[in-house]
Amino acid sequence: MLQMRDALVRLWRLYHTPQGQRLFRYAMVSVVSTAVSFAVLTFVYGVLRLWTEVPSTIFANAVAAVPSYYLNRQWAWGKNGRSHLWREVVPFWVTSFAGIALSTLTATGARAFSLDHHLHHLGSTVVVDGANLFAFGILWILKFLIFNRLFRQHPVAEAELEPELVNS
């Protein structure tokens, strides 16, 4: 019980640092983009049956990447103004497409698993959604580290925002 309390105290202290706030906001953006991706994937693959798992996964994750970019840039990292094409936009989309490629591979494997185990369409949809979540879970920390570097504010600007946290 004491270890859990200590862990919660450490998390509370981390949350009150600029890096901790950024990590929290990044996590919340991930929750939003995951919800968008799951909703779109479930709708186009599970409900409408528009495409097979691969194009459905690609479409769902591409749709979710748009709000993810803007929420990460503006809310998680506090950047305003025009995006820099080569320093922000291209690296963001490269990491997003890497995630989409990995999720496509896992979706294909999930579909094969579903066929091998004779799952009905609902079961297959759940397995494909789970594979999508697994793929993006793997890349979550790596993307945080990359985005933290891409969207970093100038150190002086961060010090002006939270002087008591930077100096303590």
> What 3 state SS string does 6-68 have?
HHHHHHHHHHCCHHHHHHHHHHHHHHHHHHHHHHHHHHHHHHCCCCCHHHHHHHHHHHHHHHH
Contact criterion met (CB below 8 Å) for 115 and 107 = no
The predicted model gives 132-160 an average pLDDT of 70
Share of the chain above pLDDT 90, in %: 33
pLDDT value of position 165: 44
Residues of the domain holding 128: 21-167
13 inside domain: no
73 inside domain: yes
Spell out a b/e string for 41-55, using b for 16 or more CB atoms within 10 Å of the CB, else e: bbebbbeeeeeebbe
pLDDT in tens, 107-140: 889 989 999 999 998 999 899 888 888 887 888 8
Helix axis angle for 121-150 and 18-41, nearest 10°, is: 150
26-30, 33-37, 133-137: lowest mean pLDDT where?
133-137
pLDDT value of position 50: 94
Task: Record the tokens describing residue 137, joined without a space.
Answer: 């879970």
Number of domains forming the structure of the chain: 1
pLDDT value of position 167: 45
4 inside domain: no
φ, ψ at 4 (rounded to 5°) = -65, -40
Contact criterion met (CB below 8 Å) for 97 and 65 = no
Share of the chain above pLDDT 70, in %: 90
pLDDT value of position 54: 84
pLDDT value of position 153: 61
